[in-house]
Chain A
Amino acid sequence: GENVEQHPSTLSVQEGDSAVIKCTYSDSASNYFPWYKQELGKRPQLIIDIRSNVGEKKDQRIAVTLNKTAKHFSLHITETQPEDSAVYFCAASKGGGFKTIFGAGTRLFVKA
């Protein structure tokens, strides 16, 4: 089955700096790669996603890149703000949300 590894487990940055979180997946049939943000005590919520026919996607201060050959995908947050502090999860699935497998999560701290 699919296995998703995520690094680092904890990331601390200064406000205004960039943050990068990296993930790898094992199943070459996976074609949908979402990123979820979870604030303390809340449910995970989708912040950005990418499909296997696209190499990069941007939405304001966040971007995701995908390297299908290497089975790597990454989340980039620029100009970080204190409200970006949360746990971020990468995930992989074969589409439709079917059997979405998550990474272990990255706890991001943005220091003001």
Chain B
Amino acid sequence: NAGVTQTPKFQVLKTGQSMTLQCAQDMNHEYMSWYRQDPGMGLRLIHYSVGAGITDQGEVPNGYNVSRSTTEDFPLRLLSAAPSQTSVYFCASSSPHALNTGELFFGEGSRLTVL
């Protein structure tokens, strides 16, 4: 089991560029989510999905799009990057049927810099 895999690990963008952060999990988890981590602000929920075809907004969704066409994949799209989106992004998954219901399994993170 690879767990939760995020790519890329590092990315530098110019203002206005678009990009997609990839997230894949091989644990057959129903629930997937994206967080951003900024100094002093903890982990803030961007978007989440409770299953294929179902997504919803979290605390800070503006400027980001997501889709969930399969159980395994949950990409995060930045349509027009802004310097305020400079952050570390974490993808996480969990399952209500897992041994420890509620535990989030995180990817290694993607550090994004927008110039």
- Which residues of A come within 8 Å of B, CB atoms? 1, 6, 9, 32, 34, 36, 42-46, 49, 89, 93, 95-105
Q: Is B79 an interface residue (CB 8 A)?
A: no
Q: With A95-B96, A95-B101, A96-B31 in contact, do A45 and B44 touch (Cβ < 8 Å)?
A: no
Total number of residue pairs linking A and B with CB closer than 8 Å: 76
Q: How many B residues have CB within 8 A of the partner chain?
A: 28
Q: How far is the CA of A5 from the CA of B4 in the complex (A)?
A: 28
Q: How far is the CA of A101 from the CA of B45 in the complex (A)?
A: 7
Return the chain A residue nearest B97 by Cβ.
A96
Q: Determine the chain A residues whose CB is within 8 A of the CB of B104 once the complex forms.
A: 34, 36, 44, 46, 97, 100
Q: Determine the chain A residues whose CB is within 8 A of the CB of B33 once the complex forms.
A: 97, 99-100
Q: With A96-B31, A96-B95 in contact, do A49 and B44 touch (Cβ < 8 Å)?
A: no
